[in-house]
Amino acid sequence: MLAAQEFHKSLNNNMKLLGNIMTIKLSAAVLATSFISSTALAGIDVVPEPATANNEQSSFKIGVGAAHSSKAYLGYDERQSVIPLIEYNNPHIYVEGFELGYKIIEDQQNRWSVFIGASSDEFDASKSRKLRAFDDRDMSAMLGTRYRHANSWGVIDAKVAFDVSDKSDGSMASVSYGYPVQATDNWMIMPRGFVKMMDSDYANYYYGVSEEEARTIGATAYQPGSAIKYGVELISTYQLNQDWQINAGARLQMLDSDLRDSPMVSDDNEATIFTGVTYRFW
């Protein structure tokens, strides 16, 4: 399944009173970041849903979104995608997009979990006007661990994962920081910065070029070392009522020099804009 349908970054979650200082509502942040993760195909991770006052209850939310995204691959067409948005959460298990996780520890400020999910990186040769002779790079099944800490100064989300699908045989790690701002009772915005680090196996699978592939475009073979993507995003959500929520946002992601030097790449950034709506069943 295409990473643009990976949804993955997740809905009406409220961050309760933290340290008796302030209440940070992450309802939108959870869904919208999940939405961004799957549409931008760049591996930005979901902010896990915080523990609720009644930790025995579960929740289920579903919706649909639309995204317009660009990728840095040579000749890659800009894409418009319609994406299902799904989130399920109970005291032990969560589903956020294409990520299934088990909570080892969860309290009002922290969550530590193990998970299996789909990577957000992929390359479909049929989508490139100039790289059609290249092999596809499929999404990898990733097994990993994730930690989230939320406080009055914002939310930190960190993740380490390893390919278990024999695609890249590599690993990646990511960390993000966001600060939710409650603009009105119903409207929240959250700016967020992120860094995604990939080892040489992971980077080479998605951005390396074999000698056979290189000959088709008159280039030389290329193998990147470990590499980094980094960027910023802005998420906005509006709560229509107790059940319905509108989400929108944008993200800009930069590629480091190891990725930019690949013959597969023609740009140094990737961008996504999106909007969506979700409904909470319980």
Residue 27: which domain range? 3-280
Instruction: State the average pLDDT over residues 169-178.
Output: 97
For residues 95 and 118, give the distance between their C-alpha atoms in angstroms, rounded to a whole number: 12
* pLDDT surpassing 80 at residue 7: no
pLDDT for 34 equals 54
Is the model's pLDDT at 276 over the cut of 70? yes
C-alpha 190/C-alpha 197 separation (Å) is: 23
Burial 225-243 (b: 16+ CB within 10 A, else e): ebbebbbebbbbbbbeeee
- How far apart CA 106 and CA 215 sit, in angstroms, is 52
- The fraction of the chain above a pLDDT of 70, given in percent, is 80
For residue 135, pLDDT beyond 60: yes
Residue 143 pLDDT > 90, yes or no?
A: yes
Which residues make Cβ contacts (< 8 Å) with residue 225, sequence separation at least 6? 200, 203, 258
Residue-wise pLDDT for 191-235, tens only, equals 999 999 999 999 999 999 999 999 999 999 999 999 999 999 999
- Put simply, whether the predicted model's pTM sits higher than 0.85 gets the answer no
* pLDDT score of 59 more than 60: yes
Q: Looking at the 3D structure of the chain, how many domains does it have?
A: 1
Cα–Cα dist 188/267, whole Å: 32
Query: β-strands 59-70, 79-89: how paired?
Result: antiparallel
Can you give the CATH number for the domain in which 157 is found? 2.40.230
29 pLDDT above the threshold of 60: no
Mean pLDDT value of segment 20-45? 43
In the block, tokens 């961004």 appear at 36
Per-residue confidence band for 57, with pLDDT thresholds at 50, 70 and 90: confident
DSSP codes joined into one string, 205-250: HHH-B-HHHHHHTT---B---SEEEEEEEEEEEEE-SSSEEEEEEE
3-class DSSP string for 20-55: CCEEEECHHHHHHHHHHHHHHCCCCCCCCCCCCCCC
**Contact by Cβ (8 Å): 3, 139:** yes
- State the burial class of residue 96 (Cβ atoms within 10 Å of its Cβ: 0-12, 13-18, 19+): buried
Please report which confidence band the pLDDT of residue 265 belongs to, taking 50, 70 and 90 as the band edges. Answer: very high
Q: Give the separation between CA 99 and CA 30, rounded to whole angstroms.
A: 13
62-118 residue pLDDT tens: 999 999 999 999 999 888 989 888 889 999 999 988 899 999 999 989 999 999 999
Report pLDDT for 98: 85
- In the chain, the percentage of residues whose pLDDT exceeds 90 is 73
* Of 203, 199, 197, 144, the residue nearest 175 (C-alpha): 197
* pLDDT tens for each residue of 236-254: 999 999 999 999 999 999 9
